Structure 1
Amino acid sequence: MRKFVLLVVTICATGVVLAGSLVALVPSAGELASSVHAQAQEIDLAALDDFAVRSRVYASDGSLLATLHGPENREPVPLSRVPQPVIDAILAVEDANFYRHNGVDFRAIGRALSENVAAGGVEQGGSTITQQLVKNALLRDSSRDLDRKTKEIPLALRLEQQLSKDEILEKYLNAVYFGSGAYGVQAAAETYWGVDVEQLGYAEGALLAALISNPVQYDPIRHPERAYEQRRAALERLVSLGTISQEDATRYGSAPLPVDRCSTGTPRPAGCRDEIELPPPDDYFVENVKQQLLDDPRLGATRDERIERVFGGGLRIYTTLDPRMQFAAELAHAQGVPKNDKGVTAAMVTVENSTGAVRALVGGPGYDSYKYDIATHPPGQPTGSAFKVFTLLTALEQGNQPNDTIGGGGAFKCPGCSKNPYVVSGAGGTLTSVTARSSNGAFVRLAQVLGIPNVVETARKLGVTSELPPVPALTLGPREITPLEMASAVSAIPNSGVRMPPYFIERVEDRDGKVLLEHESAGEQAVSERSACYARDILQEVVKSGTGTRARLSRQPAGGKTGTAEENFDAWFVGFTPYFTTAVWMGNPDQDISMANLGGVANFGGTYPAMLWRAFNEAVHADRPVGTFPPCPKPDRAGRPVVGRGDNALNGVRIGPDGKPIFGTVPGSGTSRSTTTTTTTTPSSSSTSSPPATTSPEPGPPPGNGPPPSTPGPSGG
């Protein structure tokens, strides 16, 4: 009895809806035309394209790095790219009379009424593809009531007057939902088969046609039996229309269904073909690109607007990443970090000296397991002696030269420090020799002679944003700085003192090719060309004969600075060639873990980080011409004790009433230096001569492929 009542109610309700629809739809031709003009003015065709389109991220060589999309994954394609079997199948199921009606199919409406009555409910609506497009793109209303129909039908009739059938079909095929987040036939082809839409035939087209009415219930991965039956029904519909034979339908119906989503990266899921390039999973570089776009007000006044633009605006995002260099970085990272149970990993970033373009980035052990980007996210990691680069540049900026001398360690005043005086050891010598040996004592003295605030100012000019308290230990690198900032800062040295701010994005275009954002070169002369040149020669000595010998390259000139933080918690090598500057950090990013025994050796900046840096740069420079650096200006005087804008007495120099230095004893070196004795020194822009030192450093071995030595490198490295 209940079923009978339900049937009667359904028939009556359906009849009322149909009758109302027919009243609205079947007046005389003149009345219908009048209704169209009254209810549907000229349609803004741009509204039909106002749907989310995924954005694409490209590497510097044009290869695809990533696709960015929200809930809607869509890539519009022209109708000419859609195979006829796909068109045939979708038209057979959704609107067989598409090319014969004028936007509304009254026969289909009648057939829907019959089906609804037989089913005991509203199962079909009789809408044409034109009506579906209007509903989804213009009305955005999925209800099944008379009010929507009275709005939908006039708009469908009007749309048929403004667009051709092929234009309507193309827009529909790019807008319709096929499940699994795939909107449009291209995204569906990628999602279910891992191919471009051109590769689809009748078997695939029939499944897509089946999915349109209920993408969830007929999902081939979750509900293969239902999907199989619906695909078979679509193929039988093609047979009834005479499009394919029964034999063809049987063959297509036996084709295997998709068993996994194919729109993810490597490894490619089983059953997915490899005709198209699928984007890899998100990585550290792509995440940086996304966050920069989401923070850029040029893409929208609010963050919500920017999210909509980035993930649904169809942007084409061209980046600086060099895939070949990225591969070399990942390989060097994988092979250069010894297996350990300490949680020790590495991060590295490479910038192009002349432009600031970020060419390679490894932010940690792997984005899939550790999403925090050690290479770029502040506050960074303690730099150890790598920070001495800023002190060295400050000395050169204040008029000192590579063969000028600085005393060694001792006891230094440290107001407000837990230990006062601050005691540090390390022999003195020339700026070249104390840098090559990475003498802590000499650099603590040097920073105070120059004025520690001046060292901070140099670091700021080179792009360091971290907090840098002006304490004596600052030059030894206790403060955190990111590898990206370190690479960018040091890159000014081989670039004649010009710092090019690091950047990831070359330009961004909208879906129509209009340029929305474009990188503009913004180099600044951070230090003088003279200072940068002298620093470059000094830092090459670090690689030739100092703490960084394991970074020595076979074909390219190279310079850099090692760094090891307190108790071997952090180890660095920041080095440059004529082309690129790369910062390598190694340690445990989550807690302080000593690397005094890592892979059987004590890990300093001059061991594993330098070796990792070398492996990467050997690969990157293998097919590049041997670079050269321009010669530095010859020193205009003989070497002398360093003079600075701080406490010159710490280096045995008094300032006379006329403001000129009066040279005397150099504390810490055990040697008396006077204007008379220093004039006998042979001038040299890269001199490594030094006064007698209190310790004799053990230089590292020449670079090679064997394991690092078991003995630690020189102090401070």
Structure 2
Amino acid sequence: MIYTGGKKVLVGLILFLTFLAALMIGTGLGFFLSTSVSTDIREDLSTYKPALPTQILDRNGELITEIFSDEKRDIVPIRDIPKILVYALISREDETFFKHHGFSFRGTFRAAWNILLDKLGSRRGYHSGGSSLTQQVAGKHFADRTDISVKRKLKELWYSFQFERTMSKEEILQLYMNEMYFGHNAYGVEAASQFYFGHSAKEITLAEAAILVIQLASPALYSPINHPDRAKSRQKDVLDQMVSLGYATREEADLSMQQYWDNYNYTRSNIASAYFDNNSKAPYFSEYVRIQLNDMLYGAVNINKDGYIVHTTLDLGYQHIADSVMNNAFHSINERYKNKADSRLSIVDNSYVPIIDMLGLAFNLEDIQVAGARQKKAARAVFYKKLTPALNVVSMMLGITELNDISEVAYSKDQQSAKKTTVEGALITIDDHTGQILAMVGGSDFETKKYNRAVDAHVQPGSSFKPLYYSAAISSRKFTPATRMYDGPIIFYDDDGNKYTPTNYLGSWEGSVLLRHALAHSMNVPSLQVLQGIGFEAAIDRASKMLGKYDQRENRTLFPRSFPLGLGVTSVAPIDMARAFATFPNRGKAVEPFAITSVLDRNGSTILEPEKERLREAQRNRKDDQIMSPQTAYIMVTMLQSTVEYGTLKWRRINIGGFDGMPMAGKTGTTQNWGDAWTVGFSPYYTTAVWFGFDTPGNSLGRELTGATAAGPYWAQYMKEIHRGLPRIQFDKPETGLVEQKVCAVSGKLPTKYCTDGLVDEIFLAGTEPKEFCDIHTFEKERDDDLINRLQDTLTIENFGIDTFDTGNGSLSIPDLSTSPRDGGDSNTNPLLE
């Protein structure tokens, strides 16, 4: 019995009786205040705004992620909270909740009695708290629950009665369920359920409900993550209480508890927190949106707590495909990069360049030159296979031991660099006509490095830059897709007299080609002839507008007035290239990428519609977004389709079995030293830019990883996947202003009957179609005729008939000279054949 403990027991009993008396007096005072002072608790609560995370939704309303700071909370109505969770809560915290009016004498007495027993050592273990659920809610809103004074308790009681007087039990429960702290920065049952169990509170089990309610007493002590054994013990206490109160059967409680612990993840980090639980389905895009929100919602707002609902342009279906394709790409390309260091361009110090030149002459090693960046890199590549034996010979002959180690040192450096360097990349897809960002991948690992390369990686675009100024050439009417160009060695001089000598990727030349063919196969010399033909200013003006670069001061630095610009020596981000290429299928109109369609406050009222506001502003300012004519844009579309049909993307199309009838157009790009690999292309629906390269400039992917071989396959695979199920439509073609004309495939002019190398259907701006007939094949015909006439003059007409050489089509036919009229055909010799 408790009366056998001497003075200690007596003192404890006196303290208990004193506390009970004070409590009864305080309760009476509370009743007096509640009846003598009239207040509407709803009015007080109307100013209360619990911290709510900002929700970011995709274009179909699916949740992408939530942005919050120290309180992770998701509001759920009481109708969506399972009864089993309510029963677990009242079993643990307030058995008589549905019977009392804000204060439970029975609960308070039982709590005090259990505490006394604990102090006396007569009972240890589970006991519920003394405050009712209503008191806890009242204390959270209107009293400091860390204050243990009588004044605070009276204030809490008074507000508790006001809650009960003005609100229903269900409304009080809803407040409680959505506001109380459940540990690990999770507030409310929904956030807690998502954090602890990975699913909504709507799907909670009996054992999970017990786990949640024990967190209310002390998450630090009973967290199933930090202290699973303690949590298990308290969980069993709650389940036993629920069984005793008839809310569950013994079999249900035991089975649920067993299933919970059988599937428990004991490896979860003990520093886990809802704050760090980034479950974003598109982390790079989410961060991009967060930054934009901070810029848009200026003033006294907090996107981490104010509960905004942000509707965005992202399509999570496309995002999933983008993530899958790019993850495969990162793995494959990095494996190729690291495993083939010996075949990549390697490191040779500049001090050895003269030695390389000397060895090239001494040992007849062709193509060993170091003039220009690409030649130097080529020399380095050849270094391993061709120069190493020569270096060994020279080192023995001259006693220069360092030479014998150059290749090994270079190889070792290159291998070390490969192990430390990671090939990164980015993908971004926008709608051709609206600019809505539909998918975004900014790198290989957001958690490791939050650098969004889709937006912030300013790198050289290489040959993918060419279509931008090609469009200016078409607009100038100086060039057409059928303009005959020269692909061969040419030295270009800029206005300052600087010399530039470009080569093609493989170092080969094709001679005379048409402009369409030159772009499809990414020929450098014809492209620089185009740049020279229209001038730097026209090229830069067109490129800057397509890329959305309107700061003239910055553009003077961004776009150098020199010929390397024509090969993409500038700085752009993937999002810039996507908007530039989208101009073509958008009939020549500027496309501005955007991510946010609308922002709603916690009450569901629309407070921002950024894109509508931008369009209204443009209309007010009469901003002209027509960068090029629809006719020029369409011609560029057809030229870039040729890249996919027979140019640098031909094998990418073939390898995936085509695009199932969907028209595609695009351009590849590879930078100097093979540092960056691009493919940018579009359909009648979407434009996608894919880039691979390095965060640190100066590294090389190697000759095997180009725009066509590194970025091209993944661009093609991704574009095919996201267009599955879409109606097959064609690119929008202007009804007027274009002329289609058959031309000679060699000269690009009107064909004659002598154009035997084929004819092609070409498209022109009206008025720029060829007026002249092919002079190449006409010249060849005239040359052949002249040759025939010369031969005829040298032959003796009495021996050979003239008509033997006339085939009727201008070609020369050699007669059968095996017999000679001189000997009546009996001789087997022929003087002309001997």
Instruction: Name the stretch that deviates more: 13-22 or 391-400.
Output: 13-22
Counterparts of 1:533 and 1:243, CA distance in 2? 71
Equivalent in the alignment of 1:197: 201
Equivalent in the alignment of 2:635: 534
Aligned partners of 1:194 and 1:263 also within 8 Å: no
Counterparts of 2:254 and 2:637, CA distance in 1? 74
Counterparts of 2:42 and 2:196, CA distance in 1? 38
Equivalent in the alignment of 2:311: 318
Task: Give 1:485 deviation, angstroms.
Answer: 0.9
Aligned partners of 2:503 and 2:525 also within 8 Å: yes
Matched, 1:483 2:588: no
Query: What aligned pairs does 1:457-536 form with structure 2 within 5 A after superposition?
Result: 457-465=541-549, 467-520=558-611, 522=615, 524-536=625-637
What are the Cα deviations for residues 588-620 of structure 1, in whole angstroms up to 9, with x where unaligned? 3334332334xxxx2332333222222222223
Counterparts of 2:157 and 2:437, CA distance in 1? 54
Equivalent in the alignment of 1:397: 475
Equivalent in the alignment of 1:575: 681
Q: 1:26 to 1:449 in 2, by over 3 A?
A: same
Task: Give 1:279 deviation, angstroms.
Answer: 5.0
Unmatched 5+ stretches in structure 1: 270-277, 640-670, 693-717
Equivalent in the alignment of 1:606: 708
Equivalent in the alignment of 1:660: none
Matched, 1:350 2:355: no
Q: 1:108 to 1:412 in 2, by over 3 A?
A: same
Counterparts of 1:236 and 1:636, CA distance in 2? 86
Q: Normalized against structure 1, the TM-score is what?
A: 0.76
What are the Cα deviations for residues 640-673 of structure 1, in whole angstroms up to 9, with x where unaligned? xxxxxxxxxxxxxxxxxxxxxxxxxxxxxxx9x9
Matched, 1:371 2:450: yes
Matched, 1:629 2:714: no
What are the Cα deviations for residues 547-577 of structure 1, in whole angstroms up to 9, with x where unaligned? 3323444422222222111011112121122
Match of 1:330 among 318, 323, 326: 323
Q: Normalized against structure 2, the TM-score is what?
A: 0.67
SS of the equivalent of 2:727 reads coil
Percent of aligned pairs with the same amino acid: 28
Equivalent in the alignment of 1:451: 535
Task: Give 1:213 deviation, angstroms.
Answer: 0.8
Task: Give 1:133 deviation, angstroms.
Answer: 0.8
Counterparts of 2:700 and 2:244, CA distance in 1? 76
What amino acid is aligned across from residue 135 of structure 1 in structure 2? G
Counterparts of 1:166 and 1:159, CA distance in 2? 11
What amino acid is aligned across from residue 372 of structure 1 in structure 2? Y
Aligned partners of 2:493 and 2:499 also within 8 Å: yes
Equivalent in the alignment of 1:212: 216
Equivalent in the alignment of 1:618: 720
Aligned partners of 1:635 and 1:683 also within 8 Å: no
Query: What aligned pairs does 1:214-293 form with structure 2 within 5 A after superposition?
Result: 214-244=218-248, 256-257=260-261, 259-260=264-265, 283-293=283-293
What amino acid is aligned across from residue 479 of structure 1 in structure 2? T
What are the Cα deviations for residues 356-402 of structure 1, in whole angstroms up to 9, with x where unaligned? 12222222224344432222214x22111111122112223333342
Aligned partners of 1:191 and 1:263 also within 8 Å: no
Structure with bigger helix share is 2
SS of the equivalent of 1:455 reads helix
Query: What aligned pairs does 1:18-37 form with structure 2 within 5 A after superposition?
Result: 22-27=24-29, 30=32, 32-34=34-36, 36-37=37-38
Unmatched 5+ stretches in structure 2: 121-126, 273-277, 339-417, 505-510, 550-554, 619-624, 777-834
Aligned partners of 1:7 and 1:120 also within 8 Å: no
What are the Cα deviations for residues 249-295 of structure 1, in whole angstroms up to 9, with x where unaligned? 6566655347349999xxxx9xxxxxxxx955553222322322233
Matched, 1:442 2:526: yes
What amino acid is aligned across from residue 721 of structure 2 in structure 1? A
Q: 1:501 to 1:255 in 2, by over 3 A?
A: same
Query: What aligned pairs does 1:59-74 form with structure 2 within 5 A after superposition?
Result: 59-74=58-73
Matched, 1:386 2:464: yes
Q: 1:14 to 1:484 in 2, by over 3 A?
A: farther
Q: 1:410 to 1:190 in 2, by over 3 A?
A: same
Task: Give 1:353 deviation, angstroms.
Answer: 0.6
Aligned partners of 2:30 and 2:158 also within 8 Å: no
Aligned partners of 1:401 and 1:534 also within 8 Å: no
Matched, 1:103 2:102: yes
Counterparts of 2:738 and 2:449, CA distance in 1? 50
SS of the equivalent of 2:222 reads coil
SS of the equivalent of 1:516 reads strand
What amino acid is aligned across from residue 637 of structure 2 in structure 1? R
Instruction: Name the stretch that deviates more: 562-571 or 204-213.
Output: 204-213
What are the Cα deviations for residues 15-65 of structure 1, in whole angstroms up to 9, with x where unaligned? 88766654443249555522x448x876422245x2123343333334333
Aligned partners of 1:47 and 1:138 also within 8 Å: no
Aligned partners of 2:484 and 2:514 also within 8 Å: yes
What amino acid is aligned across from residue 98 of structure 2 in structure 1? Y
Aligned partners of 2:92 and 2:128 also within 8 Å: no
Q: Aligned Cα RMSD in Å?
A: 4.1
Query: What aligned pairs does 1:671-690 form with structure 2 within 5 A after superposition?
Result: 684-685=762-763
Task: Give 1:479 deviation, angstroms.
Answer: 1.6
Task: Give 1:352 deviation, angstroms.
Answer: 1.4
Task: Give 1:223 deviation, angstroms.
Answer: 1.4
What amino acid is aligned across from residue 94 of structure 1 in structure 2? E
What amino acid is aligned across from residue 355 of structure 1 in structure 2? T
Instruction: Find the structure with the greater CA-based Rg.
Output: 2
Q: 1:585 to 1:369 in 2, by over 3 A?
A: same
Aligned partners of 1:7 and 1:117 also within 8 Å: no
What are the Cα deviations for residues 293-339 of structure 1, in whole angstroms up to 9, with x where unaligned? 23322xx426xx3xx32x33333333322333333333433445443
What are the Cα deviations for residues 188-233 of structure 1, in whole angstroms up to 9, with x where unaligned? 3333333332333443333322221111201122212221222232
Counterparts of 2:499 and 2:7, CA distance in 1? 98
The alignment of Structure 1 onto Structure 2 pairs a total of residues equal to: 626
